[in-house]
Amino acid sequence: MPIYEYHCEKCGEDFEYLVIGKTDPECTSCSSRKITRLMSTCGFVSKGNSGETVSSSASTSACSSCSSGSCSSCGH
């Protein structure tokens, strides 16, 4: 059961929603169904060849047009 991030077109709220089956999410603030799913950031931890921990996150690879580190803030 994935957790997705959404943006409400009516009130501007960003929220997370646990999707169970084929449920249609609604805004947690105003109950509107005029929402768009956002691109979520993810991270991982990996062991390198030498045994050292290497970690990365999608938020560290922001596009060049913004400095926030989150593409949902600039729309790219």
12-27 pLDDT tens trace? 999 999 988 888 899 9
> Which tops the pLDDT comparison, 36 or 66?
36
Domain that holds residue 33: 1-40
Note the maximum CA span of the chain: 51
* Residue 30 covered by a domain: yes
Instruction: Specify the CATH number for the domain of residue 21.
Output: 2.20.28
Q: What is the pTM of this model?
A: 0.53
Q: Which pLDDT value is given to residue 39?
A: 85
Please tell me the total count of domains within the chain: 1
pLDDT at 28 over 90: yes
**Would residue 74 count as lying in a domain?**
no
Centre a 10 Å sphere on the Cβ of residue 14 and count the other Cβ atoms it contains: 15
